[in-house]
């Protein structure tokens, strides 16, 4: 071989070696990085190349994988009662990705979770098609339907929890959306997505978990809890030293009650809660001070940015640096206090459960395509915001509100119901329509229990027509009836 040919041969050999090294580097060392790269469209195609697992409610799937046998996508996601379950399932779109359980449980639903390795390997060896696993939720379909239908065309949310376990029985946000309208990759899907995101009513916002509101008078239960725990009061019948006119500390501003006829002057805690006296609980909050109120609120879950069900909820807020007059307003759920519906359901659940707050959860089981259980949720205690003695005093207050006070529309025959109404002002100089709140619990003779929180953003055209007792309480009653029944 002459010298030029030898040089060319060596050069070609170097090129072949370089190609081999590069190929092995890409397929070996960089394989995972390329496979998981968000720009790798094959991931999207592969996700819909076989049936996706289902999200289960009440033993039945509320999702499907429809065989469309397209050029790139063989299957497309569809939903049963999509708008009703959208706050739970989220969406799974060929064009726009996934959200909520469809996203957080994607490994199980798509069949790519490492815990499904044995099942996938067996399917490969037997020639069976790959299948995703199922996610079993805690949702009670009767409670979910009751909340969704009761909210109707109102803008708001409802959350129901089993106080003893933390299982979320209903999670509803309205207005809602149908995930199926943009599940594909067509122009129609793109238009539906654009229209939903441009809608000023924000149908894709999960108001149950991701929106915070001033909780209004429902927060008075947290203030009462702080007062009992601090020893300021011993029983619900204790008399408060409340003047006829209460001036906010350091100001000349009078804190007014909803009506001049309410018996709030020197009222007992029981009467003050029945009539939702602002003066009583504003004064109690100012006297306890912001630090004690904040400590009590945080025991219930406020200021916790890590509440996950597993969908992460926005943190409910009790301010850290209010002035004394601001603290008085914080104590009645106004000023800078804000809460999600989930948070207020957690407060009601802890009270109903004699002071123990269970960690709320939405997923009970993860299963393989053969229904073998991959994981099962273990109930966890999140904390003990109040003592059992204090919880029983708060139960007495809440049950009196439903029997004798502003929550009468939540009464259920033959069922023990406790509740608290709230009508929260908001907007510049309180110019916005008030938010109507109701938080409650019900204990039936069948040993079933439920804690519920409902908020309605725009329950009426006129401010004077809006109250938690008239608008939110009947919605909560429907949800409680769906879980515990009636006599």
Q: Report whether 279 contacts 243 (CB < 8 A).
A: yes
Q: How far from each other are the two terminal CA atoms of the chain, in whole angstroms?
A: 102
CA–CA separation, 448 vs 55, rounded Å?
25
CA–CA separation, 369 vs 367, rounded Å?
7
How many CB atoms sit inside 10 A of residue 19's CB?
Answer: 10
CA–CA separation, 313 vs 209, rounded Å?
5
Q: Which whole-number Å values give the CA distances from 208 to 26, 157, 176, 212, 466, in the listed order?
A: 45, 5, 11, 9, 20
173 given a catalytic annotation: no
- Which residue among 65, 92, 93, 217 is the active-site one? 217
- Residue labelled with tokens 């023990």: 416
Can you state the angle between helices 141-151 and 473-484, rounded to 10 degrees? 160
CA–CA separation, 61 vs 51, rounded Å?
13
E strand spans, 186-295:
246-247, 254-255
- Specify burial of residue 14 (Cβ count, 10 A radius: 0-12, 13-18, 19+): exposed
Angle at 404 between CA 154 and CA 457, to 5 degrees: 15
CA–CA separation, 337 vs 213, rounded Å?
8
Please tell me the total number of residues recorded for the chain in this structure: 487
- Residue labelled with tokens 């890409």: 26
For 275, the enclosing helix (H) or strand (E) is helix 269-275
E strand spans, 303-428:
357-358, 363-367, 373-376, 381-383, 416-424
**What tokens were used for 259?**
């009506």
Residue 98 β-bridge partners = 92
Residues 6+ apart with CB under 8 A from 147: 158, 160, 170, 172, 454, 475, 478, 479, 482
Residue 443 β-bridge partners = 416, 449
Instruction: Please provide the DSSP assignment of 341-367 as one string.
Output: HHHHHHHHHHHHTTTPEEPPBSEEEEE
Cis-peptide, bond into residue 310, ω within 30° of zero:
yes
For 208, the enclosing helix (H) or strand (E) is helix 207-210
Active site residues: 217
């Amino acid at each position: 071989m002459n010298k030029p040919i030898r040089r060319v041969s060596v050069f070609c050999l170097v090129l072949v070696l370089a190609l081999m090294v590069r190929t092995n580097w890409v397929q070996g060392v960089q394989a995972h990085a390329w496979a998981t790269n968000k720009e790798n469209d094959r991931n999207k195609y592969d996700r819909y190349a076989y049936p996706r697992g289902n999200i289960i409610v009440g033993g039945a799937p509320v999702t499907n994988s429809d065989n469309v046998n397209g050029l790139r996508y063989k299957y497309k996601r569809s939903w049963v009662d999509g708008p009703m379950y959208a706050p739970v399932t989220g969406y799974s779109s060929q064009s726009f990705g996934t959200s909520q359980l469809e996203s957080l449980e994607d490994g199980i639903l798509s069949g790519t979770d490492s815990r499904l390795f044995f099942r996938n390997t067996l399917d490969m060896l037997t020639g069976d098609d790959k299948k995703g696993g199922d996610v079993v939720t805690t949702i009670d379909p009767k409670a979910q339907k009751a909340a969704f239908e009761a909210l109707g065309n109102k803008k708001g949310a409802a959350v129901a929890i089993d106080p003893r376990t933390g299982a979320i029985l209903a999670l509803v946000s309205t207005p809602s959306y149908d995930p199926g309208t943009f599940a594909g990759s067509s122009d129609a899907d793109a238009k539906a997505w654009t229209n939903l995101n441009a809608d000023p009513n924000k149908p894709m916002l999960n108001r149950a978990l991701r929106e915070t509101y001033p909780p209004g008078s429902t927060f008075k239960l947290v203030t009462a809890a702080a007062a009992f725990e601090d020893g300021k009061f011993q029983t619900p019948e204790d008399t408060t030293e409340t003047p006829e006119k209460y001036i906010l500390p350091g100001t000349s501003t009078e804190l007014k009650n909803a009506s001049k006829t309410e018996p709030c002057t020197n009222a007992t805690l029981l009467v003050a809660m029945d009539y939702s006296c602002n003066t009583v609980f504003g004064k109690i909050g100012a006297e306890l001070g912001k630090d004690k109120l904040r400590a009590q609120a945080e025991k219930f879950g406020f200021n916790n940015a890590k509440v996950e069900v597993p969908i992460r909820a926005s943190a409910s807020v009790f301010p850290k640096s209010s002035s004394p007059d601001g603290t008085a307003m914080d104590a009645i759920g106004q000023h800078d206090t804000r809460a999600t519906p989930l948070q207020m359901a957690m407060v009601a659940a802890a009270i109903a459960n004699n002071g123990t707050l269970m960690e709320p959860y939405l997923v009970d089981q993860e299963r393989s395509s053969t229904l073998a259980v991959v994981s099962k949720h273990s109930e966890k205690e999140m904390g003990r915001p109040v003592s059992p003695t204090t919880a029983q005093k708060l139960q007495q207050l809440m049950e009196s509100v439903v029997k004798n006070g502003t929550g009468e529309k939540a009464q259920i025959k033959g069922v023990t119901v406790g509740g608290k109404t709230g009508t929260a002002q908001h907007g510049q100089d309180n110019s916005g329509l008030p938010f109507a709140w109701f938080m409650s619990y019900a204990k039936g003779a069948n040993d079933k229990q439920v804690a519920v929180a409902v908020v309605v953003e725009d329950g009426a055209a006129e401010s004077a027509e809006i109250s938690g007792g008239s608008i939110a309480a009947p919605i909560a009653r429907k949800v409680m009836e769906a879980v515990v029944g009636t006599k």
